[in-house]
Structure 1
Amino acid sequence: MTDTGHRPSATPSVTTYRRRPRKALRAAVAAAVALAVVAGGAYAADLGPFDSGPDAPDPAALTQARAFLADWAGGRLPEAGARTTKPGEAQQVLRNFTAGLDISKPALSAAAAKAKLAENGTVTVPFTAKMPVKGLGTWTYTSQLPLREQNGRWRVDWRLSVVHPHLSGSEKFRLERDDTEGPGAVDRDGKALSADTHPSLAPVLSEVAVASGAGPHGAIHLVDRTSGDVRKTEVTFGKKPSRPTDEAVRTTIDPTWQAAAEKALADETDGKDAALVALRVDNGEILAVANSPAGFNRAVSGTYAPGSTWKIVTTSALLLKDDVAPDDTVDCPKYLTVGKEFHNVETSEHRGASFLEDFTESCNTAFISLRGKLGDREMGDVAGKYFGVGQEWHTGVPSFDGSVPEPRDETEKAASMIGQGRVLANPLIMASVTATAASGTFRQPTLVRGSKDTTTTTDLPKNVVGDLRTMMRATVTDGTADLLSDLPGDIGAKTGTAEVADGTPNNGWLVARRGNVAIACVVEKGVTGGRSAGPVVRSVLASVPDDGTPSTS
């Protein structure tokens, strides 16, 4: 239990009480949460458009509100305090609040478009706060910033309710923890899984424990400053166990695949952030989830542009309509302008290429030239109907299940054809897409046995599956994934290069299918898929049996 007053005092202090602590699990959970916040970013502000009439807030006030939230989120508390009418008090309250409640890095979003100007000239800016409480979860609430002019400058009119609307001179917050460790998790063979043996599983095992109710629990209470009596419970963390507390959580992890995945990430990524998922094609069971570094489960919860690996879905959409066939000629020029200039990796070109060659060489301009054959919503519809992308998946741990929004203009539609724009996925999604392309049937990925499946999908036609398998095989034998060509087995693959931002190296992708296993890997700042994610996938496939079917089902 952590008690903090969130207001100035001569010697601010925090007192912590815990029941039945379990250091190993608590450390793993805390690391996962902390690194997840770092990976996801600490601050976002949606200033949006606002009226410019006589009753509109002064833009300078909105700028100051945004700057205050940015300083608070970034831990620059002296700077945040200096933007208020009471700098010293504000700085100390903000420090006590975050430290006393074990909050790592806040994410603060200003709704400046809803800012209001009062008759007395003050401005009120609403904001949303997402406060990651270490090892427990995120506390989300809304509050508002009052601003007024002081000595010719806009400042936050400081009061305790700026931090939280319920914080006051008579009431404060208290964090209580119950860090109860459950019986742990086992692999598909019933053997105990440990982050000591498989370091990359640390965030996964923490999520499994929390999802099953065996992990840490806690709550933030609003209490009376004098008596300590609880006035209200603001938020609770954890949930009721879904199984007997002495029963281990049975996962689908295969230790051979997991070890191979972790070794490949350690040996082949040059220290870059990377993630990999391998799963069974016939039932969706996840055999390996590997993350480097291990703190954030980016393989399952990450949000990435999938780049050219998404061309598997784009190709499916085109084949479903008979709009193109593998042997059709679809020219591949160096550049194509659709609102902006698109080009191929290393500005390559393949004049007079067939659509099959466009796929195997990952030609962006050829795919973009076919955008008129698909309706604006068609890509998202195909992704959801046949591949389950965007539906709610129940894997046994929290997951991001993909997003394919309708493009807002022709430029964004062009980008979505090649897995850019606002199309988002992660290795879990792309491994599943690869498995569906190989078998024709979407099977929801699962990590914990007994996870329910609420998705509704339709099988791909056999002719579409046949074409996809042929094109992915040709990508290995004659295309951008030829580094896999000397491995045994009928391997099919697709490489991907995803732009991130100007001046930032591209992310590299590779997805592959061999036997009964589909695998997907992303390497952040990997530049190209074949050169970065390719060696990782090759290492994994070279370390496991050719058929890819585990001994225990």
Structure 2
Amino acid sequence: MSESQHPARRRRRRLLHTTMAAVAACTAAASGAYAVEWGPFKPDRPVVHPDAVAQAEAFLADWAGGRTDSAGERTNSPDQAQTTLRNFTAGLDITAPALTPGPASAAKDGTVTVAFSAKMPVTGLGTWTYDSQIPVRRQEDGEWKVAWDLSLVHPNLSNTEKFRLQRQDTITSPVTDRTGAPLSADASPSLKPVLDQIAQRAGAGPRGVIERIDRTSEAVTGIEARFGKEDGAAAGQSIRSTLDANWQKAADRALAAKAGGKDAALVALRIDNGEILAVANSPAAGFNRALSGTYAPGSTWKIVTTSALLLGGAVKPGDVVDCPKYLTVGKQFHNVETSEFPGATFTKNFTESCNTGFISLRGKVGDSELGEVAGKYFGIGQEWNVGIPTFDGSVPVPGDQTEKAASMIGQGRVLGNPLTMASAAATAASGSFHQPVITPDAEDRTTTSALPAEVVTQLRALMRATVTEGTARGLAGLPGNIGAKTGTAEVSESAPNNGWVVATRGNVAVAVVVEGGVTGGSSAVPVVRHLLEAIPHDPS
């Protein structure tokens, strides 16, 4: 008898199919219920409602922006929230808090919790950093509100404990130059931010603590934050820097005499070990553009570009590299004052700073090669440990051929400052990168390789020729075997170009940028000449 003819088998088969269909239907129903939260099947994880997250983020934005009334209205206890938020920042001298929302999660009771990190700048001391979280609950009217509690401001803020700022004695420690001679902002006004940073790093400067105290007895129950080093410099103990008082005074005077009242910056450092001899800014007050500025380095960057070309055997100094007025690579590039040098050698391109000639060689280097050479041989883009905060250069991989063309001449997204470019000049002169330092104990954590001797010889010759017969002629006639490279960096179509120069003499490398200086030869070179005339000898 076949299966189709056997009644018992037919009944068992129908039963199996019915059971499987029921299981499939239940599975589908469970899946659908998970998505929309209805039916007999509930999701394993409660859903984080986007409106709750948005309310928490808006609360943080209002609090950070000082809109405490608006922040309070986003809670279920506006009056208490407004009072606490105002007192919290004012009582602790906190200005412009930075509050960054983090991940959100939901509990079974529907409460959505949004984590956040807080950076609270305490005036004159530093930044208090901590993490907390904001609970948000749906109200009876359907609106989401922050469930107010003191602990969301800080996990340790409560009905029984609060915080108190205690400022302590400021440790005053004089900063000296490399010989032990005192340095002061009175004698060199542009050194003020530098001296403050050196002192703070050594543990001198203002100190204080944020204490957690009992609300009733005001007894201290804990320390939430401490500013300044307990084991730092002792009061009155001098802190030695690598700066040289004579070079520093001469640098300040050079900017005052020759920068034409424009914003400008200068760095001088030793070639053999990277020790910074002078840091000067004009105007003296405010931003330290010499060490922390972010500028397009213009044609001073051609030192790095030339290194990449020489390392790869792409060009030799005597090779012919035509220098036309214009060259189009997505956009039209031109030379300063639309100069041209038909049939020029590569040396002529370097000494006259021919943009079109350099751009025409872009196909001889890889897209990422400039950045690789800058990092491997010049340390640019690595993290430097100078002894105070600095910007150490950036060389992103070009996004297209137009950007690559711009990067060949120190434009586009290539960024540096007088510190990075003085260091680049020093590396070209010596063949080895020495991380710049402003305190003798700053540890070098970079990893670089020495340039081949042949490349160093060629770079020295090119920089010397720029002084004797090129755009840095303004330095000719000074004693010493001076080498240099000028730069003109475009800022925008409407703003005048920045003027640049880097120069080496003996064991010293100098870099100067003059904002709106138009050309390096006319604006930055006179500053360096004034400096080198004032200090005719290298530091011992």
TM-score (norm 1): 0.73
Match of 1:533 in 2: 524
Residue 204 of structure 1 pairs with residue 194 of structure 2? yes
Match of 1:464 in 2: 455
Residue 215 of structure 1 pairs with residue 205 of structure 2? yes
Match of 2:381 in 1: 390
Match of 1:6 in 2: none
Label 1:376 to 1:103 Cα distance change in 2 as closer, same or farther (>3 A).
farther
1:425, 1:253 → 2: CA distance? 21
1:311 aligned to 293, 299, 302, which one?
302
Match of 2:432 in 1: 441
Question: Is the partner of 1:366 in helix, strand or coil?
Answer: helix
Contact kept? 1:415, 1:421, Cα under 8 Å: yes
1:224, 1:365 → 2: CA distance? 71
2:244, 2:501 → 1: CA distance? 21
Instruction: After TM superposition, give the deviation of residue 278 of structure 1 in Å.
Output: 0.5
Instruction: After TM superposition, give the deviation of residue 443 of structure 1 in Å.
Output: 1.9
1:276, 1:234 → 2: CA distance? 41
Instruction: After TM superposition, give the deviation of residue 267 of structure 1 in Å.
Output: 2.9
Deviation larger for 523-532 or 91-100: 91-100
1:87, 1:494 → 2: CA distance? 63
Residue 301 of structure 1 pairs with residue 292 of structure 2? yes
Instruction: After TM superposition, give the deviation of residue 160 of structure 1 in Å.
Output: 7.3
Contact kept? 2:498, 2:519, Cα under 8 Å: yes
Contact kept? 1:268, 1:536, Cα under 8 Å: yes
Residue 176 of structure 1 pairs with residue 166 of structure 2? yes
Question: Is the partner of 2:170 in helix, strand or coil?
Answer: coil
Map 1:137-536 to 2 at 5 A: 137-140=126-129, 172-221=162-211, 228=218, 233-241=223-231, 247-291=237-281, 292-500=283-491, 503-536=494-527
1:93, 1:337 → 2: CA distance? 61
Deviation larger for 313-322 or 444-453: 444-453
Instruction: After TM superposition, give the deviation of residue 321 of structure 1 in Å.
Output: 1.0
Question: CA-to-partner distance for each residue in 1:148-199, whole Å, 9 max, x for gaps?
Answer: 9999x99999987887677677665433333432432222222222222222
Map 1:49-128 to 2 at 5 A: 69=61, 99-103=90-94
2:104, 2:344 → 1: CA distance? 55
Deviation larger for 228-237 or 309-318: 228-237
2:326, 2:314 → 1: CA distance? 22
Give the number of the structure whose alpha-carbon radius of gyration is greater.
Answer: 2
Label 1:261 to 1:81 Cα distance change in 2 as closer, same or farther (>3 A).
farther
Contact kept? 1:183, 1:214, Cα under 8 Å: yes
2:480, 2:228 → 1: CA distance? 45
Match of 1:133 in 2: 122
Question: CA-to-partner distance for each residue in 1:21-68, whole Å, 9 max, x for gaps?
Answer: xxxxxxxxxxxxxxxxxxxxxxxxxxxxxxxxx999999x98997999
Instruction: After TM superposition, give the deviation of residue 387 of structure 1 in Å.
Output: 1.5
Contact kept? 1:274, 1:293, Cα under 8 Å: no
1:253, 1:527 → 2: CA distance? 30
Deviation larger for 322-331 or 84-93: 84-93
Instruction: After TM superposition, give the deviation of residue 127 of structure 1 in Å.
Output: 7.1
Contact kept? 1:143, 1:164, Cα under 8 Å: yes
Contact kept? 2:385, 2:442, Cα under 8 Å: yes
- Percent identity, aligned pairs only, is 62
Instruction: After TM superposition, give the deviation of residue 144 of structure 1 in Å.
Output: 8.0
Deviation larger for 352-361 or 194-203: 352-361
1:359, 1:335 → 2: CA distance? 17
1:327, 1:366 → 2: CA distance? 14
Question: Is the partner of 1:216 in helix, strand or coil?
Answer: strand
1:371, 1:442 → 2: CA distance? 25
Contact kept? 1:477, 1:485, Cα under 8 Å: yes
Question: Is the partner of 2:512 in helix, strand or coil?
Answer: strand
2:110, 2:329 → 1: CA distance? 46
1:348, 1:92 → 2: CA distance? 67
Query: Residue 137 of structure 1 aligns to which amino acid in structure 2?
Result: G
Query: Residue 239 of structure 1 aligns to which amino acid in structure 2?
Result: K
Question: Is the partner of 1:308 in helix, strand or coil?
Answer: helix
Instruction: After TM superposition, give the deviation of residue 200 of structure 1 in Å.
Output: 1.7
Instruction: After TM superposition, give the deviation of residue 409 of structure 1 in Å.
Output: 3.8
Instruction: After TM superposition, give the deviation of residue 130 of structure 1 in Å.
Output: 4.9
Runs of 5+ unmatched residues, structure 1:
1-53
Label 1:415 to 1:245 Cα distance change in 2 as closer, same or farther (>3 A).
same
Question: Is the partner of 1:304 in helix, strand or coil?
Answer: coil
1:79, 1:194 → 2: CA distance? 46
Query: Residue 462 of structure 1 aligns to which amino acid in structure 2?
Result: A
Question: CA-to-partner distance for each residue in 1:398-444, whole Å, 9 max, x for gaps?
Answer: 33333333334434333332223333322222111111111112222
Query: Residue 212 of structure 1 aligns to which amino acid in structure 2?
Result: A
Query: Residue 498 of structure 1 aligns to which amino acid in structure 2?
Result: A
2:525, 2:145 → 1: CA distance? 53
Question: Is the partner of 1:381 in helix, strand or coil?
Answer: helix
1:424, 1:503 → 2: CA distance? 20
Contact kept? 2:173, 2:234, Cα under 8 Å: no
2:156, 2:300 → 1: CA distance? 48
1:340, 1:172 → 2: CA distance? 61
Match of 1:36 in 2: none
Question: Is the partner of 2:344 in helix, strand or coil?
Answer: coil
Instruction: After TM superposition, give the deviation of residue 518 of structure 1 in Å.
Output: 0.5
Label 1:351 to 1:149 Cα distance change in 2 as closer, same or farther (>3 A).
farther
Query: Residue 255 of structure 1 aligns to which amino acid in structure 2?
Result: A
Label 1:57 to 1:276 Cα distance change in 2 as closer, same or farther (>3 A).
farther
Aligned length: 493
Structure 1 vs Structure 2 CA RMSD: 4.3
Instruction: After TM superposition, give the deviation of residue 101 of structure 1 in Å.
Output: 3.8
Instruction: After TM superposition, give the deviation of residue 258 of structure 1 in Å.
Output: 0.4
1:106, 1:284 → 2: CA distance? 37
Match of 2:33 in 1: none
Question: Is the partner of 2:165 in helix, strand or coil?
Answer: strand
Contact kept? 1:181, 1:216, Cα under 8 Å: yes
Question: CA-to-partner distance for each residue in 1:333-368, whole Å, 9 max, x for gaps?
Answer: 444444444444444444433222222232333323
